[in-house]
């Protein structure tokens, strides 16, 4: 799913000429997944397979956190290595060598994890154990060798001090593991306690090793002042690290469970709009990818915003045409958050299609607009007027094995002409819609709207698709609305010479100032579009060819798993 679709689902892209703030203010990239990915310069990602489980989320998080931990260790090792060069002690070569080994190990692990090579869960886990295990062993070896050297000098205080430094280093390593690496409490406790035992084992070996020349010095380090305090410090550090791992793992599970709405598990955020937020989601039983729209908590207190949200759901849910966005579910959580679930559409909005690839070929525009007309025909027959048609609310999707499937989105500003008792969802003297594609009667605040207002908006959309610019511009939204109501439109052929004359006449008729001069309904518009000579220039085969150049297949879930296993 592309950024353009994400924002379209959230409401639309932000523009300055919007009076009613239903426009998104932010969009987030969705990482491509499944059986298709984007080519360079493209923007389409198709999703296939089941949604991410807690296990798969943990794998990705473990890889990212392990990368951060390895980079942290590499930086610290480099700093200490540089410091050792300026620390003039007779055994500095030991410290330098151990620091160098730590730097090599941490840098190697970080490099492997930062590469784009697929790494299996078991391999990442092995690298985790290897990194922290080697670091713990190198700390212990350094501590042993340096302490022996200090004791042979007769400097018990220096040996005890360096041993304390080793204990501090091990505590830092344990806390780093407990806070950075996602694990269940048992696994974290096993690894952390093992690391805590390494300095103790090192000290025991030092005590039990045959150093007849160090008997007196070793006896001085056996007491509670040295050995006892170090062991206690290690156990306290291990306890804190295990407790931290336990708390963080619980919070991670709580967050995963909190992202469920009914039977739907939330995924990545797709867009943020004036009314709500849109997330990728999956039904937990059906394993069907979908888009879930939440109304913002602050909007719940706004009765007009909440009524629009509910009307959008109920209006779209009444429609069954394949060229209208499908609504799967609707509800609210215990905390009062309203949401509804709609179909997930891979593809591009008409807005982004024109913005990214330039004016649309006439044949393709006709191919898409006729589908839009078919979807709107059902809505109009049920007394539903969209009132906010614009390029960002028309989506060009890949759906059911077909390319260039047009979908009408966002019914938040519908007018229910078939229900005379339906309340108006705009305040007095407020104009609803997007001025750039608004009909003259909308601009003047006429409440007697009918399907011809959507016909005008379709004409404005067609103008934009053919020329790359809207029919009217202005420095302010009011100036644009005045132009819609008063100024003659410049024929699109004067901007784009390739616009056919017959198609231009259809567009200009849609853009007539008076509703009675336009097409009386979208079916009549679709009929004239079909009569244009360019209508035969675009079909399903050409659409598939265009999309095939934009997206490229990559291994599906089974193939990707097999490939990852082979690499591991």
- Residues of each annotated binding site for ATP: 293
Angle at 340 between CA 338 and CA 343, to 5 degrees: 160
DSSP 516: G
Residues 6+ apart with CB under 8 A from 523: 373, 377
Q: For residue 216, give both structure tokens.
A: 């007196």
Best CA proximity match to 278, nearest among 263, 290, 260, 287: 290
Residues 6+ apart with CB under 8 A from 40: none
Judge contact between 441 and 453, C-beta under 8 A: yes
**Cα 101 to chain centroid, rounded:** 38
Per-residue burial over 545-559, b if 16 or more Cβ lie within 10 Å, else e, is: eebeebbeeeeeeee
Distance from C-alpha of 474 to C-alpha of 194, rounded to nearest angstrom: 70
Q: How many CB atoms lie within 10 A of CB 183?
A: 22
Binding residues: 293
Sign of CA dihedral 461, 463, 464, 470: negative
Distance from C-alpha of 382 to C-alpha of 411, rounded to nearest angstrom: 13
Q: What are the distances in angstroms from CA 126 to CA 84, 133, 364, 445, 560? A: 31, 10, 53, 67, 20
Judge contact between 345 and 1, C-beta under 8 A: yes
Q: Which residue has the tokens 């703030």?
A: 21
């Amino acid at each position: 799913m592309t950024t353009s679709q994400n924002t379209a689902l959230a409401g639309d892209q932000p523009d300055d000429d919007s009076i009613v703030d239903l426009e998104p203010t932010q969009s987030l990239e969705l990482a491509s997944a499944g059986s298709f990915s984007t080519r360079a310069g493209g923007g389409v990602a198709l999703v296939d397979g089941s949604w991410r489980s807690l296990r798969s989320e943990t794998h990705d998080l473990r890889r990212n956190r392990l990368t951060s931990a390895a980079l942290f260790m590499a930086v610290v090792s480099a700093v200490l290595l540089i410091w050792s060069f300026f620390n003039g002690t007779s055994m500095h070569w030991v410290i330098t060598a151990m620091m160098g080994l730590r730097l090599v190990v941490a840098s190697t692990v970080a490099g492997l994890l930062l590469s784009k090579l697929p790494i299996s869960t078991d391999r990442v886990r092995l690298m985790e154990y290897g990194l922290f295990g080697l670091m713990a062993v190198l700390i212990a070896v350094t501590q042993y060798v340096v302490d022996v050297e200090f004791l042979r000098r007769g400097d018990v205080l220096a040996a005890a001090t360096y041993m304390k430094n080793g204990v501090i280093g091990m505590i830092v390593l344990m806390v780093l593991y407990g806070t950075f690496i996602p694990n269940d409490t048992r696994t974290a406790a096993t690894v952390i306690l093992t690391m805590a035992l390494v300095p103790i084992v090192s000290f025991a070996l030092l005590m039990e090793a045959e150093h007849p020349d160090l008997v007196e010095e070793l006896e001085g380090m056996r007491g509670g002042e040295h050995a006892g305090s170090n062991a206690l410090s290690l156990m306290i550090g291990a306890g804190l690290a295990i407790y931290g791992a336990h708390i963080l793992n619980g919070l991670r599970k709580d967050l995963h469970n909190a992202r469920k709405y009914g039977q739907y598990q939330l995924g990545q955020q797709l867009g943020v709009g004036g009314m709500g937020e849109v997330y990728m989601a999956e039904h937990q039983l059906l394993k069907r990818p979908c888009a879930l729209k939440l109304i913002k908590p602050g909007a719940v207190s706004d009765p007009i915003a909440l009524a629009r949200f509910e009307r959008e759901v109920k209006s779209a849910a009444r429609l069954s045409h394949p060229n209208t966005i499908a609504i799967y579910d609707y509800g609210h959580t215990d905390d009062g958050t309203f949401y509804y679930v709609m179909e997930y559409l891979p593809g591009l909005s008409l807005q982004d299609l024109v913005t990214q690839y330039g004016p649309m070929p006439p044949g393709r525009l006709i191919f898409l607009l006729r589908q839009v007309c078919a979807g709107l025909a059902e809505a109009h027959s049920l007394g539903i007027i969209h009132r906010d048609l614009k390029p960002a609310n028309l989506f060009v999707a890949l759906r059911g094995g077909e390319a260039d499937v047009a979908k009408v989105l966002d019914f938040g500003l519908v007018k229910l002409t078939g229900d005379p008792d339906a309340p108006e969802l705009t305040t007095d003297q407020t104009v609803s819609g997007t001025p750039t594609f608004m009909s003259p009667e909308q601009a003047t605040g006429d409440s007697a709207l009918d399907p011809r207002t959507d016909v005008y908006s379709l004409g404005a959309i067609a103008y934009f698709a053919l020329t790359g610019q809207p029919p009217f511009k202005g420095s302010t939204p009011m100036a644009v609305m005045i132009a819609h109501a008063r100024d003659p439109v410049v024929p699109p052929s004067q901007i784009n010479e390739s616009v056919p004359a017959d198609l231009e006449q259809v567009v200009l008729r849609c853009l007539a100032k008076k509703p009675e001069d336009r097409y009386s309904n979208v079916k009549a518009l679709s009929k004239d579009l079909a009569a244009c000579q360019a209508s035969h220039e675009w079909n399903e085969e050409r659409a598939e060819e265009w999309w095939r150049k934009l997206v490229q297949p990559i291994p599906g879930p089974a193939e990707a798993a097999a490939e990852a296993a082979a690499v591991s």
